A and B are shown apart, each in its own frame.
Chain A
Amino acid sequence: MTTEIKLPFDKAFVSTFSSAMNEPAWFAALRLKALEQFEQLPMPKTEKTKIEKWNFTQFRQHTVKSQAYSSLADLPEEVKALVDIETSKHNLYIQRNQTPAFLTLSDELKNKGVIFTDIFTAAREHGDLLKKYYMTQAINADEHKLTALHAALVNGGVFVYVPKNVEITEPIQAVFVHDDKEANLFNHVIVVADDNSSLTYVENYISTVEESDTLANILTELVVNTNARVQYGAVDHLAKGMTAYVNRRGVAGRDSEIDWALGSMNEGNTIFENTTNLLGDGSIGDAKMVVVGRGEQTQNFTTKVVHFGKHTQGNILNHGVVKDSATTIFNGIGKIEHGASKADAEQTSRVLMLSEKARGDANPILLIDEDDVMAGHAASVGRVDPVQLYYLMSRGIPQTEAERLVIHGFLAPVVTQLPIEKVKKQLSEVIERKVK
Chain B
Amino acid sequence: MAGSTLIIKDLHVAIEGKEILKGVNLEIKGGEIHAIMGPNGTGKSTLSSAIMGHPKYEVTSGSITLDGQNVLEMEVDERARAGLFLAMQYPSEINGVTNADFLRSAINARRGEGNEISLMKFIRQMDKQMEFLEMDLDMAQRYLNEGFSGGEKKRNEILQLMMLQPKIAILDEIDSGLDIDALKVVSKGVNQMRSDDFGCLIITHYQRLLNYITPDYVHVMMDGRIVKNGGPELAQRLEAEGYDWIKKELGIEDETVEQEA
Residues of A within 8 A of B (CB): 385-388, 390-399, 401-402, 405-406, 408-413
A391→B55 contact, CB < 8 A:
no
Within the assembled complex, what's the spacing in Å between the Cα atoms of A385 and B53?
16
Q: Report A-chain residues with C-beta under 8 Å of the C-beta of B26.
A: none
| Chain A interface, >50% SS class | helix
A395→B102 contact, CB < 8 A:
yes
Report A79 CB to chain B, min CB distance, Å: 28
Q: Which of B80-131 contact A (CB under 8 A)?
A: 80-81, 85-86, 88, 91-92, 94-97, 101-103, 105-106, 109-110
Q: Report A-chain residues with C-beta under 8 Å of the C-beta of B54.
A: 390
Q: Report A-chain residues with C-beta under 8 Å of the C-beta of B143.
A: 409
Q: Report A-chain residues with C-beta under 8 Å of the C-beta of B244.
A: none
Number of contacts between A and B (CB, 8 Å)? 85
> A396 with B94: in contact, given A386-B55, A390-B54, A401-B109 (CB under 8 Å)?
no
B80→A409 contact, CB < 8 A:
no
Q: Report B-chain residues with C-beta under 8 Å of the C-beta of A397.
A: 77, 80, 102, 105-106, 109
A408→B97 contact, CB < 8 A:
yes
When C-beta atoms are compared, the residue in chain B nearest to A406 turns out to be: B94
Contact of B101 among A387, A388, A405, A410 (CB under 8 A): A405
B109→A410 contact, CB < 8 A:
no
> A396 with B164: in contact, given A388-B92, A401-B105 (CB under 8 Å)?
yes
Report B132 CB to chain A, min CB distance, Å: 19
Report B152 CB to chain A, min CB distance, Å: 16
Beyond the given A398-B109, A413-B96, please list 10 additional residue pairs across the A-B interface where CB-CB is below 8 A.
Answer: A390-B52, A394-B85, A395-B106, A396-B81, A397-B105, A401-B105, A409-B96, A409-B97, A411-B96, A412-B97
Q: Report A-chain residues with C-beta under 8 Å of the C-beta of B75.
A: 393, 399
B77→A393 contact, CB < 8 A:
yes
Report A64 CB to chain B, min CB distance, Å: 40
When C-beta atoms are compared, the residue in chain B nearest to A387 turns out to be: B92
B77→A398 contact, CB < 8 A:
yes
Asked if B4 lies at the interface with its beta carbon under 8 angstroms from chain A, I say no
When C-beta atoms are compared, the residue in chain A nearest to B105 turns out to be: A397
A405→B76 contact, CB < 8 A:
no
Contact of B94 among A391, A393, A399, A401 (CB under 8 A): A391
Pull 24 A–B residue pairs with CB atoms less than 8 Å apart, ordered by A: A387-B92, A388-B92, A390-B53, A390-B76, A391-B88, A391-B91, A392-B92, A394-B53, A394-B80, A395-B103, A396-B77, A396-B80, A396-B81, A396-B164, A397-B77, A397-B106, A398-B77, A399-B75, A402-B77, A409-B96, A409-B97, A410-B96, A412-B97, A413-B96
Asked if B160 lies at the interface with its beta carbon under 8 angstroms from chain A, I say yes
> A396 with B96: in contact, given A390-B55, A391-B88, A391-B91 (CB under 8 Å)?
no
A396→B97 contact, CB < 8 A:
no
Within the assembled complex, what's the spacing in Å between the Cα atoms of A408 and B105?
13
Report A12 CB to chain B, min CB distance, Å: 55
A388→B102 contact, CB < 8 A:
no
Report B76 CB to chain A, min CB distance, Å: 4
Report A68 CB to chain B, min CB distance, Å: 40
When C-beta atoms are compared, the residue in chain B nearest to A319 turns out to be: B96
Q: Report A-chain residues with C-beta under 8 Å of the C-beta of B164.
A: 395-396
Within the assembled complex, what's the spacing in Å between the Cα atoms of A405 and B103?
11
Q: Report A-chain residues with C-beta under 8 Å of the C-beta of B52.
A: 390, 394
Q: Report B-chain residues with C-beta under 8 Å of the C-beta of A412.
A: 95-97
A388→B94 contact, CB < 8 A:
yes
When C-beta atoms are compared, the residue in chain B nearest to A404 turns out to be: B105
Q: Report B-chain residues with C-beta under 8 Å of the C-beta of A393.
A: 75-77, 80
B55→A396 contact, CB < 8 A:
no
Report B6 CB to chain A, min CB distance, Å: 15
Within the assembled complex, what's the spacing in Å between the Cα atoms of A84 and B178?
51
B94→A409 contact, CB < 8 A:
yes
Within the assembled complex, what's the spacing in Å between the Cα atoms of A406 and B77?
16
Report B48 CB to chain A, min CB distance, Å: 11
Report B157 CB to chain A, min CB distance, Å: 10
Report B14 CB to chain A, min CB distance, Å: 18
Report A171 CB to chain B, min CB distance, Å: 25
> A385 with B92: in contact, given A390-B54, A393-B76, A395-B160 (CB under 8 Å)?
yes
A394→B105 contact, CB < 8 A:
no
Within the assembled complex, what's the spacing in Å between the Cα atoms of A395 and B55?
15
Q: Report B-chain residues with C-beta under 8 Å of the C-beta of A394.
A: 52-53, 76-77, 79-80, 85-86, 88
Q: Report A-chain residues with C-beta under 8 Å of the C-beta of B96.
A: 408-413
Q: Which of B146-194 contact A (CB under 8 A)?
A: 160, 164
Q: Which of B128-146 contact A (CB under 8 A)?
A: 143-144
Q: Report A-chain residues with C-beta under 8 Å of the C-beta of B77.
A: 393-394, 396-399, 402
Within the assembled complex, what's the spacing in Å between the Cα atoms of A382 and B76?
23
Report A165 CB to chain B, min CB distance, Å: 40
B92→A391 contact, CB < 8 A:
yes
Q: Report A-chain residues with C-beta under 8 Å of the C-beta of B91.
A: 391
Q: Report A-chain residues with C-beta under 8 Å of the C-beta of B80.
A: 393-397
Within the assembled complex, what's the spacing in Å between the Cα atoms of A208 and B65?
50
Q: Report B-chain residues with C-beta under 8 Å of the C-beta of A411.
A: 96
B92→A396 contact, CB < 8 A:
no
Within the assembled complex, what's the spacing in Å between the Cα atoms of A386 and B91?
13
